[in-house]
Structure 1
Amino acid sequence: MTTRIGLITPSSNTVLEPETYRLLHDVPAITAHFARFTVLKIGTGADALGQFSLEPQLGAAALLADCKPDVIAWCGTSGGWMGIGQDEALCRAITERTGALATSSTLAQIAAFRALGVSRYALVTPYLPDIQSKIVETFGTAGFDCVAEEHLGDPGNFSFSTYGEEQIAGMIRRVAQAKPQAISIFCTNFNGVRIAPILEAELGIPVIDSTTLTLWHALVLAGVDPGCVPGQGALFHHKKSA
C-alpha cells in the first residue's frame, strides 16, 4: 500500500522538491506530490505578509487532494513570523476542505522540539533581522528558548537557495558553541538537508532542517515509521509520539 504525501511549496523554492525526492529515493511505497503558490519575498510588509493568505494555500491543497494524499503539509516557515495560530488555522481549513491530515514546517518544528525534549535551541536562517526576531518570539511563546542565532539578512525567497553548504555549516558550528539542545535550520529553501545529519554526528547535537523536518512530521501523521528514511539523525529514530 502506498502512502502519498502532499506538499505545498512556495513558488520560488528550488530546494524542497529535489531534496524530498532524494530523501525518498530508496524508500518503497512512499511518494511525494507537490503544488505551488506565489511567494517571491520574505518580510514584514503588508505585501510580503499578504502572500500567505489562506486562499492561495487552500487552492494548492485542493489540487493536491485530487491525488488523494494521506497528509498535506505546508512546506514553508511563515508561521514562524506570522504566529502559530496562522498555521493551525490553515491546517484546520486544509483538513476541512480535503479530508487529509495537515501540518506545516512551523508546527512540525514544535512537534520535533517536544518529541526530543528540547527547551533550549539555536536558530539558523537566511532571513531579515525583524523576521528572525519574530521567529524567536513565536517559539518563545511556545516554551522554547533561543540561546543562539545567526541570520543572513536576505529578503529572498529565491536567493535563499544560492547559499552554499559550507556557509550554512559555518553558521551551525558557531551557534553550537552555545550548547543548545538542538539546532534548527529554519527555512525550506536554505539547503541544510544533506549537511544536517553530518553536522549532528560531528557536534553531538540534533540538527533539524526544515525540509527534512516537514517530511518527518508528515510521515508521523500518516502512521509511517520515519526511520524508514535512511541516513537521518535522532529525530527520525525517536520513538516518542509527536
Structure 2
Amino acid sequence: MSASALMQFETEKLLAAANLLADAKPAAIAWNGTSASWLGFAHDESLCAAIERETGIPTITSVLTLNELLASRDITRLGLVTPYHREVQARIIENYAGLGIEVVGDIHFGETNNFAFAEFDEAFLADRIRLAARSEPQAITILCTNLRAAPLVAELEVELGIPIYDSVAIVVWKALQLAGIDSGPLRKWGSLFQ
C-alpha cells in the first residue's frame, strides 16, 4: 500500500500501454489486474473511460467484469480467496460491502511479494478455495491475476456446487465475448465458458 508500490497503477502508464495495443486494432482491451478491488472501483471505471476515449476500443477489467457477474447473478454472499496481506484484504471486503456484497469466506495468504503469488501450487489453491466454500457463499472469487487457479475452476465447481470466478478467467471470458469469439475451448476454466 506504499505510494511507490501504488505508482504502478497510475492511469498514465496503463493508457500508454493501451495506446501501444491499439495499433493492433483489437476488438477489446482488457486490464487483467485487481488493484481496483482495494483502490476503489472508480479507479477501473475511469481507466476504462480514458482508454476508450483515447483509442475508441471497448475496454474491460477483471474487477469490473467480476462486479458485473456478481450483480447479474444477484450474489450477496461471496467467498474471497487472495494471496494478499490483511490490509489489502480488508479494503477489498470494505469495497464489496459498499456494493451490498458480504464476504463470508475470507481467505488470504498474507503475501506481499507479487512474484511469490505465482509460486502457490494448485493443491494449496484448491485447499483454500475449499476453505472459502465452508462458509456457504453464493459464489467464490479467486482475486489475483498472478495465481494459477483458472485450470482448477471447472472441477472445483462440480465438487463444491458453487460458481467460482477466477479473475484471470473472467476477463478472458469477457474479452472473448466482446470479440465475438467462442469461449467453449476454455471449458476447463469453469461453467462461465460452457
TM range (shorter): over 0.9
Superposition TM-score, scaled by structure 2 size: 0.94
Once the two structures are TM-superposed, the CA of residue 224 in structure 1 deviates from its matched residue by 4.4
2:18 pairs, out of 54, 61, 73, with 61
User: Which residue in 2 is equivalent to 1:139?
Assistant: 96
Distance 2:64 2:182 in 1: 19
Contact 1:123/1:149 (CA < 8 Å) preserved in 2? yes
Q: 2:125 aligned to 168, 192, 198, which one?
A: 168
Equivalences, count: 194
Query: In the alignment, is the contact (CA less than 8 A) between 1:112 and 1:235 conserved in 2?
Result: no
Q: Trace 1:1-242 onto structure 2 (pairs within 5 A).
A: 44-224=1-181, 226-227=183-184, 229-237=186-194
The whole-number CA distance in structure 1 between the counterparts of 2:65 and 2:76 is 15
Gaps of 5+ in 1: 1-43, 238-242
Following the alignment from structure 2 to structure 1, what is the Cα–Cα distance between the partners of residues 48 and 56?
11
1:9-61: CA deviations, max 9, x gaps? xxxxxxxxxxxxxxxxxxxxxxxxxxxxxxxxxxx111111211111100110
Secondary structure of the structure 2 residue equivalent to 1:230:
helix
Preserved contact between residue 197 and residue 231 of structure 1 (Cα < 8 Å) = yes
Query: What is the percentage of aligned positions where both structures have the same residue?
Result: 42
Name the structure 2 match of 1:31.
none
Please give the alpha-carbon distance, in whole angstroms, between the structure 1 residues aligned to 2:127 and 2:103.
Answer: 18
CA distance, structure 2, for counterparts of residue 145 and residue 51 of structure 1: 29
- In structure 2, the residue matched to 1:23 is none
Alpha-carbon distance between aligned partners in 2 of 1:150 and 1:228, rounded to the nearest angstrom:
30
Do the aligned residues in 2 keep the contact of 1:54 with 1:90 (CA within 8 Å)? yes
Per residue, is there more helix in 1 or in 2? 2
Asked if 2 retains the 8 angstrom alpha-carbon contact of 1:176 and 1:203, the reply is yes
Q: Following the alignment from structure 1 to structure 2, what is the Cα–Cα distance between the partners of residues 110 and 221?
A: 17
Say if 1:124 and 1:149, in contact at 8 Å, map to a contact too.
Answer: yes
Distance 2:47 2:155 in 1: 33
Contact 1:184 1:207 survives alignment (8 Å): yes
Which TM-score applies when normalising by structure 1?
A: 0.76
Query: Is the Cα–Cα contact under 8 Å of residues 182 and 205 in structure 1 kept in the other structure?
Result: yes
One-letter code of the match for 1:139?
A: Y
Shifted more, 226-235 versus 82-91: the winner is: 226-235
Amino acid at match of 1:60: A
Provide structure 2 residue ranges, at least 5 long, that are not aligned to the other structure.
none
Whole-angstrom distance in 2 between the partners of 1:60 and 1:101: 15
Distance apart, 1:118 and its partner CA: 1.4
CA RMSD, Structure 1 to Structure 2 (Å)? 1.4
The one-letter amino acid of 2:107's match is E
Question: What secondary structure sits across from 1:67 in the alignment?
Answer: coil
